[in-house]
Amino acid sequence: MSDHYFSAKPEAQEEGRRVRAVLLGQPFTFYTDAGVFSKKGIDFGSRLLIETVKIEPRSHVLDLGCGYGAIGIAVAKTVPHVKVTMVDINERAIRLAKENTELNQVENQVKIMISDRFSALEGEAFDHILLNPPIRTGKKTVYAMFEEASKALVSGGSLWIVIRKQQGAVSAKKELEQLFSSVDVVDRKKGYWVIRSRND
């Protein structure tokens, strides 16, 4: 599993590149590399999540498993006065995310750190947590992320995930319903579901 994007130290040979994308009507450029998720460009699921989430100004947002930072950076660039924390276990992804906050001029709104799920986030609470789950790690890990997220939200806060139906969206929704008082599929497109979960 050493070459998977959820490894702490990917062994894939570096092959840095730049990719461009328009997200929420704004142009972005990102550095990507081998050994990180969706290295060739913004994947459909992440794009759908970015375009679907509703984030209020001045919110504290966690991009959980941020990869090279597309989701968190898009939020930081387009939501007024938002504070974004971005974490990933992958050291190469974290280095790229830091470079990308500077490249897209949002470094003053974003905090980035290496963290195995919530290990570096003890005591922090968030208004919104955004997650494109690392499905290949298996349900046990993904569901642990759901449970940890439920405990790291402020009252009324939301966990937003994107997941393909054929990769377990139905069972993920059932799992979320065990953890949250309100679970809704807020968008469906090309087999992907965006699910919002919150405790009111």
Domains of the chain: 43-198 (3.40.50.150)
Closest CA to 93 of 44, 37, 17: 37
Segment 52-78, tens digit of pLDDT: 999 999 999 999 999 999 999 999 999
CA 45 to chain centroid: 10
pLDDT for the residue numbered 52: 97
> Do residues 8 and 91 touch, judged by C-beta distance below 8 A?
yes
Angle at 76 between CA 126 and CA 24, to 5 degrees: 115
Closest CA to 161 of 197, 121, 136: 197
Q: Compute the distance between CA of residue 29 and CA of residue 159 in angstroms, rounded to an integer.
A: 26
Neighbours of 168 (CB within 10 A): 17
Neighbours of 52 (CB within 10 A): 15
> What is the overall mean pLDDT for the chain?
91
β-strand partners of 61? 84, 128
* Strand 60-64 versus strand 126-131 pairing type: parallel
- 6 confidence band (pLDDT: 50, 70, 90): low
pTM listed for this prediction? 0.92
As given in the structure block, the two tokens for residue 114 are: 């290496």
Q: Compute the distance between CA of residue 132 and CA of residue 164 in angstroms, rounded to an integer.
A: 10
- 40 confidence band (pLDDT: 50, 70, 90): confident
Q: At what angle do helices 139-151 and 169-179 cross, to 10 degrees?
A: 30
Rg (C-alpha) for the chain, rounded Å, is 15
Closest CA to 179 of 130, 154, 131, 144: 144
Q: Compute the distance between CA of residue 61 and CA of residue 49 in angstroms, rounded to an integer.
A: 14
Residue with tokens 């003053």: 108
Q: Is the pLDDT of residue 3 over 50?
A: no
Segment 146-192, tens digit of pLDDT: 999 999 999 999 999 999 999 999 999 999 999 999 999 999 999 99
Percent of the chain exceeding pLDDT 70 equals 92
